């Protein structure tokens, strides 16, 4: 079993749609969680950290459920520019090593 | 503020050769991480350096090695190159061993083995 698992997709959605991705992690002692975005043949870029109480950044909302060991990302009012692969990331016990999920591909169509 | 910089952007080698990839972290970051991303695959952790020392190593053979210099820049060396080493090699930096810090990535070096 992978340490961080994501549905690879692709998720094909129309512009303006709301889309949600889930991710599960196996290390119950993971301390920190992040969502990264990776465009084709580019480097991953930090999208947002994920806090226990949930957090929002514009159209993006991240949630953490420690009991069920899953993380979610909600994107509202999808834009064409949101098309990318979204990587779910969990840290180790100490929080200084990150494990990346395989990514979920999102394609927003006009 | 300059981000993580990597060089070269592209590197073409043949089987059996050796490759050296370089990375400069964000100013103030002491930890440097190396990842391999083969085409269509996820990020595979290679190495982690902090304060000049190797802190952790991924599941890669010993021909993958590296070092971190006193200015916190880092080199990744790959010896006896094989065709399957063709990949994007990404370097990331963070604020050291203190937990909870995100990693910030460079643009990567695309290594092609002919």
In this prediction, residue B110 has a pLDDT band, given cuts at 50, 70 and 90, of: very high
Average of per-residue pLDDT values in chain A: 93
| Structure confidence at residue B99 (pLDDT) | 67
| Structure confidence at residue B12 (pLDDT) | 98
Average of per-residue pLDDT values in chain B: 93
| Structure confidence at residue A96 (pLDDT) | 75
- Decide if B94 and A103 are in contact by the 8 Å CB cutoff: no
Per-residue model confidence as pLDDT tens digits over A50-88: 988 899 999 999 999 999 999 999 999 999 999 999 999
Chain B positions in Cβ-Cβ contact with residue A86 (cut-off 8 Å): none
In this prediction, residue B95 has a pLDDT band, given cuts at 50, 70 and 90, of: confident
Chain A positions in Cβ-Cβ contact with residue B94 (cut-off 8 Å): 96
Chain B positions in Cβ-Cβ contact with residue A101 (cut-off 8 Å): 42
| Structure confidence at residue A26 (pLDDT) | 93
| Structure confidence at residue B41 (pLDDT) | 81
Average pLDDT over every residue of B15-19: 98
Most confident stretch, A25-29, A30-34, B17-21:
B17-21
**How far away is chain B from the Cα of A40, in angstroms, using its nearest Cα?**
10
For B102, the closest of A31, A46, A102 (CB atoms) is A46
In this prediction, residue B1 has a pLDDT band, given cuts at 50, 70 and 90, of: low
Full DSSP string of chain A: --SEEE----EEEETT--EEEEEEES-TT---EEEEEE-TTS-EEEEEEE-TT-EEETTEEEEEETTTTEEEEEE-S--GGG-EEEEEEEE-TTS-SEEE---EEEEEE-
């Amino acid at each position: 079993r992978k340490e961080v698992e994501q549905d690879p997709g692709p998720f094909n959605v129309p512009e303006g749609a709301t889309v949600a991705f889930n991710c599960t992690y196996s290390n119950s002692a993971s301390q920190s969680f992040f969502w990264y975005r990776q465009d084709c043949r580019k480097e991953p870029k930090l999208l947002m950290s994920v806090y226990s109480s949930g957090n929002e950044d514009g159209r993006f909302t991240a949630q953490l459920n420690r009991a069920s060991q899953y993380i979610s990302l909600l994107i509202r009012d999808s834009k064409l520019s949101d098309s990318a692969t979204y990587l779910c990331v969990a840290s180790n016990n100490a929080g200084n090593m990150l494990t990346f999920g395989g990514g979920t591909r999102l394609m927003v169509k006009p | 503020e300059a981000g993580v910089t990597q060089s070269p952007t592209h590197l073409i080698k043949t089987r059996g050769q050796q490759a050296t990839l370089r990375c400069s972290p964000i100013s103030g970051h002491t930890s440097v991480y190396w990842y391999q991303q083969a085409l269509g695959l996820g990020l595979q952790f290679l190495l982690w350096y902090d304060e000049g020392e190797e802190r952790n190593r991924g599941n890669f053979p010993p021909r993958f090695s590296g070092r971190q210099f006193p200015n916190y820049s880092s080199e990744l060396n790959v010896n006896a190159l094989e065709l399957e080493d063709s990949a994007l090699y990404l370097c990331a930096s963070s604020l050291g061993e203190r937990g909870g810090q995100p990693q910030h990535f460079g643009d990567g070096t695309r290594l092609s083995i002919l």
